Structure 1
Amino acid sequence: MNTEETLQAVPASDVRTASKDMLQKQLYAIFTQPTRGLHPVFAGIQEHLKFQVSLEREGILFAAGPMWTDDEESWEGDGLVVVRASSRQAAIEIAERDPMHKSGARTFSVRPWMINEGSTTVRLDFSSQSFEIL
């Protein structure tokens, strides 16, 4: 029998201390799922997308989009929305404003997410006035 203790959870402060030289940007992941199939989701998709764009313009939305099935061939309605918020409760309040959630077409859960590693690359071509996210 292994006498080494198996950790199940550690305080967030311990994780922050262990990664003190990293970004430690606190965001919130909103996992969203359909409640009554996809018909109600598609019925409200335009209002939902307008809401997402409004969050983007306000600087609240970090990223959002559908989550494909594992074979990458279809969509069963799951989505992920990552927002900038002051707390988990504030992120919940943002999610509650989404027309999809207000109508009951979708339900959600919110998890705090700390970004430590990664990168974003944007290519900007002056001549064509175009850009590409790489």
Structure 2
Amino acid sequence: MTETIQTWRQRIDNARAEGLAAREYFICFTEPKQDRLAVQRHLGIHLEYQRDLEKRGIIVAAGPLSDEKGEEWTGKGMIVYRAKDIAEARKIADADPMHRDGVRTYKIIPWLMNEGSFTLSVKIAAQKIEYA
């Protein structure tokens, strides 16, 4: 009996058939191409770009990464995009001022989110929303 390895698309279809969330996102791992001072100088326009993507519903999550010990900021980061495919995700990443100006380089990997949860708390009188 021969077993076949599923393609990525087959895995997505099978996850949906199994009743899993089967949401495809695109993880952008970004790291400095120049020194951390150059990264810091570009931070303002980078964050402006990120906030615009967030307002438009393109960013699921984003932020810096630590070293493996949780002690040092490495200058690396991770961004989770909503996009129709990897080509669109690359266009989004290419337009980031950090990547566009050669301060950072990136790698994008498709991710299939099948399980997970979060808690949302809405405090009406305090006009506060919290999530965990």
TM over 0.5: yes
* 1:110 is aligned to 2:118: no
Q: For 1:131 and 1:92, how far apart are their aligned partners in 2?
A: 32
SS at match of 1:44: helix
Distance in 2 between residues matched to 1:85 and 1:49, nearest whole Å = 19
What do the CA deviations read for 1:29-54 (whole angstroms, capped 9, x no partner)?
11100012201100100000000000
Structure 2 Cα separation of the partners of residues 13 and 90 of structure 1: 17
Separation in 2, partners of 1:121, 1:17: 28
Note the aligned Cα RMSD (angstroms): 1.8
Q: Tell me the alpha carbon deviations over residues 33-89 of structure 1, each in whole angstroms, 9 at most, x when there is no partner.
A: 001220110010000000000000111111100011111111111100111111100
Any residues of structure 2 matched to 1:90-105 within 5 Å, and which?
90-105=88-103
Gaps of 5+ in 2: none
Q: 2 CA distance for matches of 1:128 and 1:34? A: 40
| Aligned sequence identity (%) | 32
Letter matched to residue 55 of structure 1: L
5, 22, 25: which one aligns with 1:24: 22
Q: How many residues align?
A: 129
Distance 1:77 1:24 in 2: 31
User: Equivalent residue for 1:67?
Assistant: 65
Q: Are 1:57 and 2:48 an aligned pair?
A: no
Instruction: Write the letter of the residue equivalent to 2:98.
Output: M
Q: Aligned with 2:89: secondary structure?
A: helix
Give me the TM-score of the superposition, normalised by structure 1: 0.89
State the shift of 1:18 in Å.
4.3
Measure how far apart 1:133 and its partner are.
Answer: 1.1
TM-score in terms of structure 2 length: 0.90
